[in-house]
A and B are shown apart, each in its own frame.
Chain A
């Protein structure tokens, strides 16, 4: 795409460099630590699954009995139990669910443990490869029907079977991506619930069974629609890596996954979040799952005009963190949002500048564009008009993933018809102005170019300030989203462990090797 904003390449480069030096400090910490959910995710990828009669998941039962061993890695104990009892992971899971405490089993021959590890890792590798191959095959098969931007809608009934109906209807209407809203409380649970959800609160739980049910439904509708319909869930909260693991196993295609969202908006401890996001992104990168970052949330607490640069700064940081986790740019769905007050004169121009700027700076990234929410009211007619302008900007600036605005945004979870009307609006705009972007240029000293340059300048200044104080301090002083979080506060810090001598995690080793992170670390 020809660039139109004449942004300074030198400044963009400078911002990237600053972001890299900011995240390098954090990465030093991450590399020396693990968390209880990183360990549980590793167990899941080796085969730990199921739950006991009280609903406590097997990975948690294992972690609870071995809490003081997290710094050594929990995989060894699970593998040892498999070797010693000579059963399959499914059988062992059942025994653990029935009360077997694997911490009580004597540690056996390390050679046998490593052999078992390589057997299970090889099965994992096959499963991930087969998921990636299936997705790529279907995307290639139906390439001609692919839209730009991809239309993303949400289902949120709280009952996975009802969600299936709504998701299928949405796909028939033209949706390319279905997100299944997660129940509001899940981000703060330090376990992943088990089984299908039929009575969720504000959504369904992210469970492996729910993933499977929706995946199957979307695979069916993909065949009738001749488009590969992507499935999204929420890889955030206290169990980020475990949800990534489940998504990799069940072929989710996208995950909401931000490096700082949990810290700022869910008050999760920053050490925990940074460590978790790294591991979860290695899993997502391995399974070629596109991440969606959460910069849009900044604008729900801060002003979209004044704090536009915090969005761009966070995009640079998310990009840098993702790179460190071995993720390629084609998987980095950096987020932003159409959240300016509709009463602002020329607000549309400012939104346009911000969206096109993101497009020109992050060229290969599948940018995720979020609709108006903050200024949506009960006036559904005005809301529908705002969504039309949002659709316009989205198409005219070449966004990749467009989460459609709902006319009833401020009122209730979408009715079937709300979603259909949103899709109709988007498809009308996308088609009607298909080649608009190729037809326009911007005035040299016009509002749009000047605005983009100004936001980039402010971003460079902000990243320089963050580098100076360090990211931990920057978050503590409220530099992002006007939210202040102290390093030792927030939830989940007791689940962070320093890696001890002899730390063993064959899943981590596998992921790093797969992503080419091992050689880099040694070089």
Chain B
């Protein structure tokens, strides 16, 4: 058992900083309400260190509190899509050695979502933050269809170019649009009975591996992901699939 709590300046002091707005006018009563609110969230020694009016109807607070809630670290279950990513060169070598052909990956930001930032960071030649994108990988044929691509179109393209993997990017999360859209994507594949033909990977700032797998994807990648992480997952999963068949 390994019991842990937030660390402020002493082990397991449970100290946490918070900031929030309450829909009440600024004043002493508002501050007292904020303090009670923080205590009700499970903090004791709640301290409202700053309060200011945002308008006649709203007040903003910065608060500190200490909590007794704790987590047993040993009981935490967690898996990542990839444990250790290969470099671009290693991915290429892996493909050459195991598949003896280029692999094909198609990706898009689907639905009404107009944000290309994520899919561009993973797929475009240039990549992101000095990590080259999949287009740069000599052994990968990468095709980025951009944003606002209907799920149907993405699947149609994947079939047409005989893709090995499909990447679906989702940035907008308002009203859980990303979950609905990703679910619809999986359903379409299943309806066409071609789910097993592809490795499907979801990505986006609010996507986790756990969420994506629950929806029916092979993996999910969140913020801070680079092309090599996605590529590593895809080639390893493809390799697993071949070896399983044997």
Contact = CB atoms under 8 A, between A and B. Distances in A.
Contacts of A172: 54-56
B55 A417 contact: no
A12 interface: no
Interface in B187-246: 205, 223-224
Contacts of B223: 377-378, 410
Nearest to A423: B54
A172 B124 CA distance: 43
Given A201-B174, A201-B175, A417 B54 contact: yes
Interface string A290-304: 000000000011110
Contacts, number: 71
A184 B113 contact: yes
Interface in A145-173: 158, 165, 168-169, 172-173
A420 interface: yes
B21 A416 contact: yes
Contact of A415 (B21, B55, B57, B177): B21
Contacts of B148: 184-185, 188, 266
Interface residues of A, number: 34
Nearest to A157: B174
Interface in A371-389: 374, 377-378
Contacts of B55: 168-169, 172-173
Q: Which of B55, B113, B120 has the most CB of A within 10 A?
A: B55
Interface in B130-189: 146, 148, 172-175, 177
Contact of B129 (A168, A187, A301, A341): A341
Contacts of A300: 116-117
Given A184-B113, A185-B148, A173 B205 contact: no
Contacts of A185: 112, 114, 148
Contacts of B57: 165, 169
A315 B20 CA distance: 40
Nearest to A156: B174
Contact of B172 (A202, A377, A417): A202
B54 A202 contact: no
Contact of B54 (A184, A266, A420): A420
A134 to B, nearest CB: 25
Interface in A10-36: none
B21 A374 contact: no
Contacts of B177: 201-202
A301 B116 contact: yes
Given A413-B174, A420-B54, A202 B112 contact: yes
A345 interface: no
Main secondary structure of the interface of A (DSSP, over half): loop
A269 to B, nearest CB: 15
A411 interface: yes
Given A169-B58, A172-B55, A417 B174 contact: no
A283 to B, nearest CB: 25
B66 to A, nearest CB: 21
A184 B172 contact: yes
Interface in B28-80: 54-58, 60
Nearest to B205: A410
B87 interface: no
A202 B178 CA distance: 12
Interface in A164-194: 165, 168-169, 172-173, 183-185, 187-188
Contacts of B102: none
Contact of B20 (A165, A266, A417): A417
A173 B174 CA distance: 26
Interface in A275-314: 300-303
Among all A-B residue pairs, the 4 with the closest Cβ atoms? A169-B55, A185-B112, A417-B60, A184-B114
Interface of B: 19-21, 54-58, 60, 112-114, 116-117, 120, 124, 126, 129, 146, 148, 172-175, 177, 205, 223-224
5 contacts: A202-B112, A265-B116, A302-B126, A410-B223, A420-B54
